[in-house]
A and B are shown apart, each in its own frame.
Chain A
Amino acid sequence: MAIPPDPIDEVMPDVRCVVIGEVTHILEKWKQAPLPKGEDGAADVPGELAKQKVRLKVAEVLFGDLTAVGDEIEVIKPDGDYVLRVGNHGPFLLGDPMARLSSPTILGRYGPDSYRRDVIEAALARG
């Protein structure tokens, strides 16, 4: 569903690292469950896009010591309202709220489009 991004202050407690990065490889795609189709003109039809594992090249680290500039890290795009492809870039909030995945998970409903950099920096400044 195309619902607004989560309020960033609800997401930040789970964030372990914030990087500016770019997707360089799509490593794995989980099987996509059938997406319901609404009537003509319908929007906000339920259904989530399948999980992906992607490689991310880190250009900048805004928060955390999970990684460093220049690293290429593997991260999980969870089931959600967006899908990544090679070249997608922007701020990635990384965490592992369930603490059971080997790779960090991208947090925020729309991945690199969730929050502008200034919004993230303001949230980090608030602690």
Chain B
Amino acid sequence: MLIKDKQIRALTDKLERAEAPRIDDANLIDILAAVGDFSDFWRNENEMREKLSAPGITRHEQLELVREGMDSAERGDLERILDESGFSMTASAKNFLEALVGRAPLDEDQGPLELTADQRNGFVGRAEAGDVIEAINLSAAPLARLHLDNTTEIARADQFGKFAGTLPDVKEGDIVRLRTRKADGTVSDWVTIRATGLSPEDTREAQINLERLDLVAQSGGGIEVTQNTARPLTEPGATVRITNARTGERFEFVATDEGALPDGFALRGRAGDEFKVAVSDGHWNLSFANVAGVLKVPGGDNGPVGVDVEDPAAQKRHLKPDGTNRYEKVRYTGPLFVDGPSASDVRQGAIGNCYFPSAMAAVAYTDPGIIENMIRDNEDGTYTVTFQNVSWSGATDEVEILIDADLYTRSWGGPIYGVARNGSNKPDKMELWFPLIEKAFAKWKGSYETIGEGGVAGKVLEAVTGKSYDYQFISPSSKDLVYRRIAEAAEKGWPACAGTHGKDRAELYTNTGVYANHSYSVLGVEEEAGVRYVKLRNPWGQSEAGNDGQNDGFFRLELDKFVELYGNLAVCPA
């Protein structure tokens, strides 16, 4: 169907995306506003919508208004909607369109188009004389503690059946449900509409009432989820994401037309687990970053739990003169993953092992699945981390390291060694994958002292991916080669790290935002206005060249500066 008018086309395109495209009085008003607006300016379209929705307007007056502004192209578009769209239409809408293009007389008995949902002018429509019009805002109902039939009377139809009424606190995009109630108490079917015309964008985030969900651990494993009330849980059609804070596993459901939990929804976890709940209405919170609240499964024990296994020794400089630990070991019980592993999760601790976090961040950036697969929660307070021991011949042996989640912790909070950069560093909240894999690496190699005296990022890439890494020196004369190599690695999803020169050339670095004797994750290349850049990340999760306002460790460096300040590149081809 070729629709020429771009405003009408936008509306029909939107309808075509609907599961069951249907033109009713409400969305026909939108189409007619686009037809009768005299121009393409949206202000005129909005003004037209207001006029068409004015309280008391007759169907005939609506027709004349639209005809005044309709040109031949728009008329052709309406004919195509009638003939070619395949959209189902209410009798009222179809008759109006046919009358508009001159195919049929206007059926005045149909009354004016109903329920425009334009709250600036109220809900306007026609019912039987004397009917009471009831409405409920389903978008606001979950937190308002309303039942679905806790409606508000917004109007009464006059002697001609016309009504106009308003509902408080309706915002653009809200889902509003209306019905009529006769004097004898009988009610009509619900009519559900989405409020439009109040502001340019949907302005209300979906709500969810977590008090209405119960979680119960099942003896055979799994978590039963029930809704404990007939009141709505959330907005109809909203997507609810529930994430197990311990395992990072995500679960989603779409709320029913009643805003309820669908049948058969369940979670995986155990007693004592906490689940983060986020909700999106398809307009807001698309990333589910805004967490509405946390649900906890009754039972369990979130204190120091499970098996205690031997920990790698701390660095010598972190011991007291009597040889005891300066930093207390604390059991961490937070989730392994929060929204999966990512480079930005990684922050080097007070230990000289930049080669390790830079390599882990590089792998998290290129192939987070490798990290998800290399650490296993044994559900008894221990974790198994699997490294790859790659021989000179390229053969690999798996090395499994068993650890618990005791981490050396500063007195004012947070681990002294590797830490999750994002979110909380509290023992029951912190994302654990990076500090635990680092701990396993320390245990494998002997101690934190062993891994804290410098090392080679390429060897960590190898130990994580099981693939041999290649290594090249960087110099200004090799810049084209280096640029192509980094571009190739980024394109193929190969993790890469680059090291700066040693301290014998330290005076190159002060005031550059780059540090000597340091390893960085290499994330790719980009070219802008003819200038080539290398994208990098400092494993400190801060301190970077330039000032992009983030100070999150991510930055880019002009290629010429990169080859001046960096001395080597390690790439781990898959």
Contacts and interface: CB of A to CB of B under 8 A. Distances in A.
Interface stretch (A42-50, A60-68, A96-104): A42-50
B477 interface: no
A44 B510 contact: no
A39 B471 CA distance: 12
A38 interface: yes
Given A41-B568, A44-B517, A4 B503 contact: no
B348 A4 contact: yes
A2 B458 CA distance: 17
Give the interface size class of chain A. Answer: 20 to 34
B454 A112 contact: no
Interface string A107-123: 00011110010000000
A89 interface: yes
A43 B503 contact: no
B510 A37 contact: no
A85 B511 CA distance: 10
B568 A49 contact: no
Interface string B511-538: 1010111110000000000000000000
A10 to B, nearest CB: 9
A49 B348 CA distance: 22
Contact of B454 (A1, A4, A110): A1
Contact of B354 (A2, A46, A111): A2
Given A1-B352, A3-B352, A35-B503, A42 B510 contact: no
A45 B454 contact: yes
Contacts of B503: 35, 45, 47, 49, 81, 83
B507 A83 contact: yes
A41 B510 contact: no
Contacts of A45: 352, 453-454, 502-503, 517
B540 interface: yes
B99 interface: no
A82 B504 CA distance: 10
A112 B551 CA distance: 16
A82 B543 CA distance: 14
Nearest to A85: B507
Interface in B555-574: 568, 570
B504 A41 contact: no
Contacts of A83: 503, 506-507, 510
Contacts of A111: 510
Contact of B350 (A3, A37, A88): A3
Contacts, number: 123
Contacts of B456: 38-43
B198 interface: no
B121 interface: no
Contact of B455 (A44, A89, A116): A44
A89 B542 CA distance: 20
B353 interface: yes
A42 B353 CA distance: 10
A2 B518 contact: yes
A84 interface: yes
A116 B502 CA distance: 24
Nearest to B499: A43
A88 B511 contact: yes
Q: Which of A3, A44, A88 has the most chain B CB within a 10 Å cutoff? A: A44
A70 interface: no
B503 to A, nearest CB: 5
A39 B457 CA distance: 11
A102 B345 CA distance: 44
B499 A4 contact: no
Contacts of A82: 506, 509-510, 515-516
Nearest to A22: B511
B555 to A, nearest CB: 13
Contacts of A39: 456
B351 interface: yes
Interface string A1-35: 11111000000000000000000000000000001
A112 B499 CA distance: 22
A116 B551 contact: yes
B542 A4 contact: yes
A3 B351 contact: yes
A49 B505 CA distance: 10
A2 B506 CA distance: 11
B543 A5 contact: yes
Interface string A57-98: 000000000000000000000000111110111100000000
Contacts of A44: 352-355, 452-455, 517-519
Contacts of B239: none
Nearest to A114: B543
A81 B502 CA distance: 11
B570 A43 contact: no
Given A40-B471, A41-B568, A82-B515, 15 more contacts: A4-B349, A5-B543, A35-B502, A39-B456, A42-B455, A43-B358, A43-B499, A44-B353, A44-B517, A81-B503, A82-B516, A83-B503, A84-B507, A90-B511, A116-B551
24 contacts: A2-B354, A2-B515, A3-B350, A4-B347, A38-B454, A40-B456, A41-B568, A43-B455, A43-B456, A43-B499, A43-B518, A44-B453, A44-B455, A45-B453, A45-B454, A45-B503, A45-B517, A49-B503, A81-B516, A82-B515, A84-B510, A88-B511, A113-B510, A116-B551
Closest 6 interchain pairs by CB? A1-B352, A2-B518, A43-B519, A45-B454, A44-B352, A4-B540
Interface of A: 1-5, 35, 37-47, 49, 81-85, 87-90, 110-113, 116
Interface of B: 347-355, 358, 452-458, 471, 499-500, 502-504, 506-507, 509-511, 513, 515-519, 540-543, 547, 551, 568, 570
